[in-house]
Amino acid sequence: SPWKPLLLLLSPPAFSTTCARCAKDRRLRQKRAISERQLTRYFMDQRKVRVVGGHGGGGGHSFYSEPRKVFGGPDGGNGGDGGHVILKADQQMKSLSSVFPFYQGFHGERGGSKNCYGANGAHMYVKVPVGTLVKEDGKVVADLTQHGEEYIAAYGGAGGKGNRFFLSNENRAPKLFTPGEPGQERVLHLELKTTAHAGLVGFPNAGKSSLLRAISRAKPAVAAYPFTTLNPHVGIVHYQDFEQVAVADIPGLIKGAHQNRGLGMAFLKHIERCRFLLFVVDLSVPQPWIQLQDLKCELEAYEKGLSERPCVVIGNKIDLAQSRINLPLLREQVAERVIALSALTGDNLEELLLHLRELYDTYVKTEQSRGQSPVRW
């Protein structure tokens, strides 16, 4: 073709596959590495939520008229009711981090002519974790402890009346109609008490976060200074029969925690709903059994009977020389079972995992004997 040389001149040059400088880089871009701090997901246990119910639709204002019936009378329908804002406990939700600070129900539609009523507004469902406390002005108004349990946080407004509603023998052509009422508005405080199966309880720097890292995929911060953990973390321990045991890393307690020293009350409330406790004791300190006594005193001062729940004592940092000396002394002073391990090196973690499963199976059988369904993750 005579146009072929011209087309070759006008066409853009093809990419070279031999020259490294001119060849097009077809490799996929690698994702930028995310730091461990960004990967850490904190456990949100408190939330302030403003809820507003949907507005009711206004009443209709119209008169029926047709060629053979001019004065047909009023036919304005009533407006639809506004939708409620409903809190619903969901077993799949584990934190309040997905709850938004504001919710509003859907509005009802306005009433139409020919006695047509407006549609009601749809309800707004907000999923919250099981074990959520709903407070208003410091008072508990709801406690969602069962899966599927609901609480109406804000009622929707009633729909307005159309002029058909005001028809009477004295007034055959009413022009009166009412607007819809506004929805209820409330400010609620949602508080989640951790419903994990086991709770790691101990003083700061006892090795609770390191232990949770060793037995689960949770990534709490670990450092050599006290109060590294400021927010609770929940890790899941997986077993071969697909059972999952949730273990909560409760931030470290101090003496006087029941008097709200430090952040004691904020930490103790998470221990309240743990089914069994794992007391983590640092074996390298002098007289480690005093730590266990102080921990039980703080739990008992916060809630009577809390320290008597099924528990096991974990002696951490067995890899240190001083810990091996203190281990037999601790077993003499403590009546509970003592499991000596090292969260750093992973020594004797199997004994802890097996005993943790025994505590979980005992909890499941106890709940089933009472006719209640155990909490499963």
pLDDT tens digits, one per residue of 294-321: 888 888 887 788 888 888 898 888 888 8
214, 288: one domain:
yes
Look at residue 28 and tell me if it is in a domain. no
**The pLDDT of residue 197 is above 70:** yes
pLDDT, one tens digit per residue, over 153-171 is: 999 999 999 988 888 888 8
58-78 core/surface letters (b: 16 or more CB in 10 A; e: else): bbbbbbbeeeeeeeeebbbbb
Contact by Cβ (8 Å): 291, 316: no
Token pair, residue 191, equals 């508080």
With a pLDDT cut of 70, the percent of the chain lying above it is 79
- If asked whether residues 229 and 309 sit together in one domain, one would say yes
Residue 168 and residue 301 in one domain: no
Domain-ending residue, one of 193, 222, 241? 193
CA atoms of 134 and 45, how far apart (whole Å): 12
CA–CA distances in Å: residue 375 to residues 237, 267, 365, 366: 15, 21, 12, 12
Same domain, yes or no: 154 and 250: no
| 137 C-beta neighbours (distance < 10 Å), count | 9
> Could you tell me if 219 and 339 lie in one domain?
yes
Domain finish residue from 193, 211, 246: 193
Q: What's the pLDDT band for 22 if we cut at 50, 70, 90?
A: very low
268 in any annotated domain: yes
> How many domains, in total, are found in the chain?
2
How do residues 111-151 score in pLDDT, each as one tens digit?
988 888 989 999 999 999 888 889 999 899 998 888 889 99
**3-state DSSP assignment of residue 288:** coil
Do residue 68 and residue 90 come from a single domain? yes
Q: What is the pTM of this model?
A: 0.64
Are 203 and 288 within one domain? yes
Check whether residue 148 and residue 210 sit in a common domain.
no
Would you say how long the chain is, in residues? 377
pLDDT of residue 254: 54
Residues 182 and 249 in one domain: no
**CB-CB contact of 139 with 131 (8 Å):** no
Residue 250: give the domain boundaries: 198-370
Q: What is the CATH number of the domain that holds 364?
A: 3.40.50.300
**Separation between Cα atoms, residue 54 and residue 121, nearest integer Å:** 7
